Structure 1
Amino acid sequence: MKLPLPRLARWAAAALGALLLVGCASKPVTMDGLIFASPKVNPDASGRASPVVVKLFHLKSLANFQTSDFFSLYERPAQALGSDYVTVEEIVLTPGMKQRITRPLAPEVRYLALIAAFRDLENAQWRGTLDVSQGDKDLPLIIELSDNKVSIRTADGTRELEKLQEKLAEKRDEMLRSAEEEAKQAAKERAQQAVTKRLKRLPLP
């Protein structure tokens, strides 16, 4: 059966539109970025750095997140966030550590939010948020923890991620060199102390 030309044109346009919609919906937005902690992150009372737990939330809205306290978000996230909650993941970072994170984002996710379990919560910036509702491509993210502060933002292209990784590698090498020097100095001091003890035990002439 032959279709009249106007009907055929309408049918072709509808079919093309459906194909375009399927094509657009077939590729979900992906979060692809870097999370890293500075060598001095989460200092204790003596100023020594220590590991820190980070929780990353995928949310529909920020309303409940912004009004909830740290412990409600940390211990009972689904209850605290209610209908805004989509999912949450936990990441443990040690001082100077970096980690690449690649995650698909569910269609309903409009915001990413995170909290960091710093030792000194009262004086810390433990909460961070990012609007991803306008994302139409992969999101290059940077999540940074420095001292008692956490932040999340979009990277200025992949080159910024590469520069950060290079910077972190330099910091790590610097820390390793410093640790080696401290170990050598400690070994030298122990050897000197051992010699001094032996000399003291020798009989006097």
Structure 2
Amino acid sequence: MSFYLLRFSPFAVALCVLTLFGCSMPERNSASGALPVTISASKSINPNAAGKATSVSMTLYELRDTDNFNSSDFFTFLDASDPSLTNDISKIHEYILRPGETRTFTLKPAADVNAIGVIAAFREIDKAEWRDIYQITPPKSRAWYHLSLFDSEKKINIQLDKTSIIIDEVN
């Protein structure tokens, strides 16, 4: 009988160690809702009449819904005159970016936020792509035995080019 127990004890010990290891793993940022963000302004951003790059004001919105954000014009954002738009906004972050500047930070959106909206006040707003949206996807549920040590973290890259905004997800 003791030989039988000794034969299976390494397996039992390994199983216990792996189970405890899985339970003690730190929570990943994407599971906790944190979202690393990098904002990069190109060196030719927001050109003036002489073609020289100038600073631009950028606003990042944590959105509950995107319909009103997509349908509003630029000046509605400035004067906050649309109550349905303001109801869709959970939080506002404002930045002024110089040509060539990069900023990195972590957003911690509320549970009811399902998108990140970005607008930029370019000089020639009528000719600019001044708005973009990133949809936040909920984290996938995983089996208890799935080890996520090698999974890549979801990151957002916001690129402000000459007169446009591009939001990409980077893994």
Check whether TM > 0.5: yes
Distance 1:135 1:74 in 2: 33
Matched position secondary structure for 1:44: coil
1:169 is aligned to none
Distance 2:73 2:88 in 1: 15
Does 2:133 align with 1:124?
no
Aligned AA for 1:143? I
The answer as to whether partners of 2:37 and 2:107 remain within 8 angstroms in 1 is no
2:58 is aligned to 54
Q: Report matched runs for 1:1-205 at 5 Å.
A: 28-76=32-80, 79=83, 81-135=85-139, 139-155=154-170, 157=171
Could you report, residue by residue, the CA deviation over 1:46-98 in whole angstroms, capped at 9, with x for unpaired residues? 10000000000001110110111101113317735143221111011000000
Matched position secondary structure for 1:90: strand
State the percentage of identical aligned residues: 28
Superposed CA RMSD in Å reads: 2.2
Structure 2 runs not aligned, ≥5 long: 1-26, 141-151
Distance 1:138 1:110, change over 3 A: farther
Matched position secondary structure for 1:89: strand
Distance 1:152 1:74 in 2: 21
Structure 1 runs not aligned, ≥5 long: 1-22, 158-205
The answer as to whether partners of 1:139 and 1:154 remain within 8 angstroms in 2 is yes
Query: Which is higher, the Rg of structure 1 or of structure 2?
Result: 1
Aligned AA for 1:109? V
Distance 2:83 2:100 in 1: 33
TM-score normalised by the chain length of structure 2 = 0.71
Q: How many residues in Structure 1 have an aligned counterpart in Structure 2?
A: 132
Larger RCO: 1 or 2 (CA < 8 Å, sep 6+): 2
> Higher helix fraction: Structure 1 or Structure 2?
1
The answer as to whether partners of 1:58 and 1:87 remain within 8 angstroms in 2 is yes
TM-score normalised by the chain length of structure 1 = 0.59
Distance 2:131 2:69 in 1: 9
